[in-house]
């Protein structure tokens, strides 16, 4: 339990830093270029890890169903990223962020339905934590902003992203990671993302030009922390506590909010402070 909890928190910390740096990188070089070059770096780093895990690579012949699950999870997670990007560009952050953050609850429900045992206290902790994450994701303006912007807010895109993230992480954690280990599914996911993004960028009319020298810092940081977050997530999934790890990974929102406060001196709304208290209460329930 403690290992799953720590790895889930590590993935949230890495994802939170990733999201913070992704905002800087996206403003500097554009969203799709930052994603492409960040994913290329992550793929290179994970390829090095993959090269050192020859025993796991040999699992292809004996675990074909797990490779199919890893491939399916990678495609679903790429679709989730596309839906989230579309939601953020077409809608409003006040709605898209908290709705997308509900993917942890979806993955937890699927894991429980497919045999993962959760005590009543841990189940309550997961529910409390998921509620806190959704609440902390709502920026200044609170629930009133959420309600007023719901009609043209990107809600549909965000809901689709939440479902895809939940299903993708569940599929990866339950069917791929136990047979292939923690690195191969992530490596395959990044490989699919790099190829798919490289194909999509020209179709979307965006540039494939590499970032300029001064722009590489946030782009490379995004790729490295993204790879670290995914590695921590799948290592946590390998403990068999898929529901707990995935829900904890959604604490990304809280990490990003705190980073904005510390680095950019951004204001934190009252409801966000309250949400962090709710999250801490949920973590206490899960740990106990």
pTM (predicted TM-score): 0.80
What distance in Å separates the CA atoms of residue 216 and residue 222, rounded to the nearest whole number? Answer: 10
Q: Which of 279, 229, 280 is nearest to 77 (CA)?
A: 229
What distance in Å separates the CA atoms of residue 126 and residue 120, rounded to the nearest whole number? Answer: 10
**Per-residue pLDDT in tens (0 to 9) along the chain, 288 residues:** 588 889 989 998 998 888 788 878 877 888 788 888 988 999 998 888 767 655 555 555 567 889 999 999 999 998 888 888 777 667 666 667 777 778 888 888 888 888 888 788 888 888 888 888 777 766 666 556 555 555 555 778 888 988 999 999 999 999 999 988 888 889 999 999 999 888 888 887 878 888 888 889 988 998 899 889 998 999 999 888 888 888 888 887 778 777 777 887 767 777 777 877 887 788 777 765
Structure tokens at 156: 């549909």
DSSP string over 49-77? HHHT-HHHHGGGTT-HHHHHHHHHHHHHH
Residues 6 or more apart from 42 whose CB is under 8 A from it?
190, 223, 224, 226, 227, 230
Q: Find the length of the chain.
A: 288
What distance in Å separates the CA atoms of residue 143 and residue 131, rounded to the nearest whole number? Answer: 13
DSSP code, position 176: I
Q: Residue ranges of the domains in the chain? A: 2-287
Q: Where are the alpha helices (DSSP H) in the chain?
A: 2-29, 31-51, 54-57, 64-90, 93-100, 103-113, 120-136, 142-148, 155-171, 177-180, 184-204, 216-237, 242-249, 252-264, 270-287
């Amino acid at each position: 339990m403690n290992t799953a909890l720590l790895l889930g928190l590590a993935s949230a910390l890495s994802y939170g830093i990733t999201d913070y740096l992704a905002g800087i990188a996206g403003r500097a070089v554009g969203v799709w270029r930052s994603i492409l070059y960040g994913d290329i770096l992550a793929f290179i780093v994970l390829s090095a890890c993959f090269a050192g895990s020859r025993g796991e690579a040999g699992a292809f012949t004996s675990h074909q169903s797990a490779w199919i699950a890893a491939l399916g999870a990678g495609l679903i997670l790429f679709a989730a990223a596309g839906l989230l990007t579309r939601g953020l560009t077409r809608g409003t952050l006040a709605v898209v962020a908290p709705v997308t953050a509900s993917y942890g609850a979806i993955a937890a429900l699927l894991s429980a339905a497919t045999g993962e045992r959760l005590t009543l206290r841990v189940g309550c902790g997961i529910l409390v934590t998921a509620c806190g994450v959704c609440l902390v994701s709502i920026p200044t303006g609170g629930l009133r902003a959420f309600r007023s912007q719901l009609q043209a807010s990107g809600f549909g895109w965000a809901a689709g992203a939440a479902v895809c993230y939940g299903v993708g992480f569940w599929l990866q954690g339950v069917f791929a990671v136990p047979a292939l280990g923690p690195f191969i599914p992530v490596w395959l996911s990044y490989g699919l993302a790099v190829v798919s993004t490289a194909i999509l960028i020209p179709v979307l009319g965006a540039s494939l030009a590499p970032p300029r020298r001064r722009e590489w810092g946030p782009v490379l940081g995004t790729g490295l922390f993204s790879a670290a977050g995914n590695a921590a997530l799948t290592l946590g999934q390998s403990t068999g506590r898929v529901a707990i790890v995935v829900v904890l990974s959604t604490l990304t929102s809280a990490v990003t909010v705190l980073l904005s406060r510390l680095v950019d001196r951004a204001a934190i709304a009252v409801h966000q402070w309250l949400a962090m208290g709710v999250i801490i209460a949920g973590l206490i329930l899960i740990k106990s």
